[in-house]
Structure 1
């Protein structure tokens, strides 16, 4: 790895870290999030005993906890975007136990994203308590609005979770955070510019966003109960319905061929056989914010239903 040009090695095991310091003292060592560093004392221990030049901390820390960690003087790398885990960072054995593939060896099968049945004392719960069965599926982390606080806290590097993500995800998300950091260095993002960057981030795969951990929260707001697939970004609202057609008032521009998802508000007289899934329809033409666009949709959807762009 060194001969190939690696800048640093990310290591989780303390014994291996000690060995690497002896065998490859010229190569920088970063302590992985799997080591579970969550305090200043742990960071100082990693630097002193293992020779760690940087520690990557857990996703679960608040801005205040990160500030205390950075006060150690050890460079801290903090997660800023992407998937979060239903377990503590780097400590989940769910995939290994269920399917024989370890998340901590980079082979997570993401069993937390699957549907489950909620039971109380062996009896199935009501549909209202578990409408989709995605009982263990967290949203994705979005730290954009906390970047000034993370910079003030002394965070040395931002980490974007990108396991199994494709090149356009990497290009877009890294570009968004690079632009936001550059803007901060020049005086900061105004509200409109921040919203635009947030919208660009939403164009890449996401399960809905949360900043709960950074605010010190850990409740239901962390979860994505509807589903585990791409949520997209809101671009408008259904304002009228005709036979096999709806009128969408656009809040954001869309392009011909885009995939639009209508998040149906089911009518009060909808029968039990009406499918709960949201219809996906092709966008028939380019449309600008403020315009109204007629879109073919065979499913019955009600005015007031939000329209999302899920593929461009």
Structure 2
């Protein structure tokens, strides 16, 4: 197995739009975007014995993204996506699919022990099999690894127990306005002041970083010692699918290159804004963005 340094573990699936399909899934999108900044990233999930699974592999190979994708006796994941006039998607996520049954293999254990960063969410933890695998993976990472919980609450596919366990295992948390409100309701925070909720969560769970994205209303990054805010650039939106995942990938890449919180935040904002102008969650990024982490480049 190739020595990958970054992992996205969880769902890999096809987003089925009315007129086309795009490869997606939050952790797959993350791995794709962080790989565009020169990191060896791998998608860790599962596929079915079907043509859609074969197409996943071909697409990842074409985009030079690594993968650990054992085949299981369930169909490759699909999601029906409808996008409104503002580019905001609504998802209908199929159940009992391959990524609900990710096995914990020796290759996955080796990846966990070698990686310096992993991104995971709540969606793939809706099933006991994948939830167990994700938790074993996290337990096998080193203490120094970035463990990024991109909470990604979808439909009714989460529980407070899963959220609490993930908060206790991560050191970076990313969530949006709706998700931080739900988090506040779950755990008894005062939801009237979302920034205060974020600061309390950083303290209560000993987080290194908390990222709060607020759509058109900007984004915040909180650490134990500082905070950062940037406006959201005004762009012509094609759809917002994968924009949050690209934010996470760019932010992680910048941190791993030794950039400051402010610099990582600025890059993440610009990358996610660009992704909003493209269709689907895995558009190629222009060099004007990817080169900003090169040692000789500014940002």
With normalisation by structure 2, the TM-score equals 0.23
Higher RCO, Cα 8 Å, sep 6+: 2
Determine which structure has more spread, i.e. the larger CA radius of gyration: 1
With normalisation by structure 1, the TM-score equals 0.22
1 or 2, which has the higher helix percentage?
A: 2
